[in-house]
């Protein structure tokens, strides 16, 4: 086994410098069991469900370390529910989406989901924050927004604070607020992103952060890339897209087929999902928002109030033509249905091979 226990790995007590973000508890448990550091995304969970989700994950982890991630943008309403937001949506947008529902014959979703029952608001965020602070997670990560009170309170409770940042400006803000680990997430990443690619962002953040540990995120799907990030000064890599290929993710079959068939060019940045720029896998639904005559997507949380039922429906009905999800340029690494354990083994073996290759080159006579 390679000596790739960076200081952050040692601090967290993990075997490999691999940090795995997922909304799916089964993936989180499997990443921890395979020696990585899992981060459970709770941004898509209703506050009332979070305590049970967290209790279940903690019981299955049996003391293995894990983190929780929340997405906390500023400028959302104090209180919001989908119905009241829907009542105030611009009529032209409502008509456009009604036209798409008809054109693509999208049925209403049959089951309740976060995307139809909830709207992002300060009240929702506060409930999510309370549940996270009360958890046994040893780390708290936040994305899109920074909350000084959350960072201070998480630290007071002994949790390590992480922040996903996409620019030098954001990184500076996070450091000023006392964040302890920066996740330099490049434009290549699945989900909400900035405009700078991981390869260019990482060295700038490493230089700025000095003694604060930095992780690299975005576009990473191989062990050689992880090693490359460590060579650039990162203490590990943070992966999101890759786990969607694992059976533990319970990815709808149509989405998994599309992920397997997709290359990096099949992901694009779109505001059609959440209202904020988000890298997603293309589908006819996403493309419809780029057609001539389509209105610009609304902001967050209004775009979700407008289209949340469609997202829920196309996932529930496994709609091969329309289904999409956040996905990074790292989708090139998804080539078959697999398991988290197999993915972790492969990443570690690839790190090993890349190390041997480098060592071989380093020994070549000039
Ligand atoms: C399906 C999916 C959902 C995501 N949701 C969140 C989220 O709720 N919060 C967050 O901080 N990051 C989220 N991300 C981004 C990941 O944390 C991570 O930065 C990103 O996946 C890294 O790039 P990669 O997708 O190329 O591996 C999501 C990514 C994916 C693929």
Tens digit of pLDDT for each residue in 292-334?
Answer: 999 999 998 899 999 999 999 999 999 999 999 999 999 999 9
Shared-domain flag, residues 126 and 220: yes
The whole-number pLDDT of residue 2 equals 60
For the chain, first and last CA: distance in Å? 29
- List, edge to edge, every strand of the sheet that includes 278-281: 191-192, 278-281, 267-270
Mean of the per-residue pLDDT values of the chain: 95
Look at the chain and report how many structural domains it folds into. Answer: 2
Pairing of strands 18-22, 139-143: unpaired
Report the atom number in ligand 1 closest to the C-alpha of 183: 19
Q: Span 257-281, mean pLDDT?
A: 97
Shared-domain flag, residues 65 and 140: yes
The whole-number pLDDT of residue 366 equals 65
DSSP run (H or E) holding 117: helix 114-117
Distance 204 CA to ligand 1 centre (A): 21
User: Residue 208 has which token pair?
Assistant: 């700025």
Shared-domain flag, residues 4 and 145: yes
Q: Does 336 have pLDDT greater than 90?
A: yes
Could you tell me the CA-to-CA distances from 281 to 220, 243, 247, 269 in Å, in that order? 16, 15, 19, 9
Distance 144 CA to ligand 1 centre (A): 11
What residue ranges line ligand 1, CB within 6 angstroms?
A: 21, 41, 43, 69, 71, 143, 164, 185, 188-191, 217-220, 238-241, 325-328, 330
Q: Does 141 have pLDDT greater than 50?
A: yes
Q: Span 172-184, mean pLDDT?
A: 98
Q: Does 58 have pLDDT greater than 90?
A: yes
What is the Rg, in whole angstroms, of the alpha carbon atoms belonging to the chain?
20
Q: Give the model confidence (pLDDT) of 81-114 as tens digits.
A: 888 888 989 999 999 999 999 999 999 999 888 8
Q: Which residue has the tokens 């090139």?
A: 332
The whole-number pLDDT of residue 1 equals 47
Q: Span 233-256, mean pLDDT?
A: 98
Shared-domain flag, residues 315 and 171: no
Query: From atom 1 of ligand 1, which residue's Cα is the shortest distance away?
Result: 326
Shared-domain flag, residues 29 and 159: yes
Q: What is the model's pTM?
A: 0.96
Range of the domain at 51: 1-81+118-246+338-366
Shared-domain flag, residues 175 and 238: yes
Q: Give the model confidence (pLDDT) of 184-211 as tens digits.
A: 999 999 999 999 999 999 999 999 999 9
Shared-domain flag, residues 187 and 288: no
What CATH number does residue 37 fall under?
Answer: 3.20.20.70
Shared-domain flag, residues 92 and 60: no
Probe target for ligand 1 pocket from 139, 161, 189, with the most ligand atoms within 8 Å of CB: 189
The whole-number pLDDT of residue 41 equals 97
Probe target for ligand 1 pocket from 326, 330, 332, with the most ligand atoms within 8 Å of CB: 326
The whole-number pLDDT of residue 83 equals 85
Shared-domain flag, residues 202 and 267: no
Q: Does 353 have pLDDT greater than 60?
A: yes
Q: Span 1-23, mean pLDDT?
A: 91
Shared-domain flag, residues 289 and 331: yes
Shared-domain flag, residues 63 and 208: yes
Shared-domain flag, residues 271 and 123: no
Q: Is 208 exposed, middle or buried (0-12, 13-18, 19+ CB in 10 A)?
A: middle
Q: Does 115 have pLDDT greater than 60?
A: yes
Q: Give the model confidence (pLDDT) of 117-128 as tens digits.
A: 888 888 889 989
Q: Which residue has the tokens 């398991």?
A: 339
Q: What is the DSSP string of 165-223?
A: ESSHHHHHHHHHTT-SEEEEE-TTSSEE--SS-HHHHHHHHHHHHTTS-EEEESS--SH
Contacts 24+ apart (CB under 8 A), 103-112: 103/288, 104/284, 104/285, 104/288, 104/319, 104/321, 104/322, 106/310, 106/313, 106/314, 106/319, 106/322, 107/313, 107/317, 108/309, 108/313, 109/309, 109/312, 109/313, 109/316, 110/316, 111/312, 111/316
The whole-number pLDDT of residue 3 equals 61
The whole-number pLDDT of residue 18 equals 98
Probe target for ligand 1 pocket from 19, 72, 190, with the most ligand atoms within 8 Å of CB: 190
User: Residue 252 has which token pair?
Assistant: 């709808």
**Closest by alpha carbon to 328, among 21, 113, 40, 33?**
21
């Amino acid at each position: 086994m390679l000596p790739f226990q960076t200081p952050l790995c040692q601090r967290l007590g993990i075997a490999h410098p691999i940090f795995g973000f997922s909304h799916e508890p089964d993936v989180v448990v499997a990443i921890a069991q395979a020696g990585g550091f899992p981060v459970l995304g709770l941004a898509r969970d209703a506050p009332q469900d979070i305590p049970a989700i967290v209790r279940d994950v903690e019981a299955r982890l049996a003391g293995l370390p894990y983190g929780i991630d929340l997405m906390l943008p500023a400028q959302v309403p104090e209180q919001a529910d989908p119905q009241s937001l829907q009542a105030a949506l611009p009529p032209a947008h409502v008509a456009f989406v009604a036209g798409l529902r008809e054109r693509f014959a999208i049925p209403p979703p049959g089951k309740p989901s976060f995307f139809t029952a909830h709207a992002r608001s300060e009240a929702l965020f506060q409930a999510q924050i309370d549940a996270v602070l009360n958890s046994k997670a040893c780390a708290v990560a936040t994305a899109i927004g920074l909350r000084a009170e959350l960072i201070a309170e998480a630290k007071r409770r002994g949790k390590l604070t992480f922040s996903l940042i996409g620019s030098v400006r954001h990184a500076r803000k996070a450091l000023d607020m006392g964040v302890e680990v920066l996740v330099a997430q490049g434009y290549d990443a699945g989900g909400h992103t900035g405009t700078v690619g991981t390869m260019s962002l990482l060295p700038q953040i490493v230089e700025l952060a000095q003694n604060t540990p930095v992780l690299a995120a975005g576009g990473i799907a191989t062990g050689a890339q992880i090693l490359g990030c460590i060579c650039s000064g990162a203490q590990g890599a943070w992966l999101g897209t890759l786990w969607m290929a694992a059976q533990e993710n319970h990815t709808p079959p149509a989405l998994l087929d599309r992920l397997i068939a997709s290359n990096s060019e099949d992901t694009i940045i779109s505001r059609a999902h959440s209202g904020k720029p988000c890298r997603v896998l293309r589908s006819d639904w996403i493309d419809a928002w780029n057609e001539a005559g389509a209105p610009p997507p609304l902001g967050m949380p209004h775009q979700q109030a407008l289209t949340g039922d469609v997202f829920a429906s196309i996932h529930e009905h496994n709609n091969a033509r329309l289904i999409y999800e956040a996905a990074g340029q790292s989708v090139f690494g998804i080539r078959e249905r697999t398991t988290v354990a197999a993915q972790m083994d492969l990443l570690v073996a690839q790190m090993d091979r890349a190390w041997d290759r480098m060592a071989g080159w380093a020994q070549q006579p000039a």
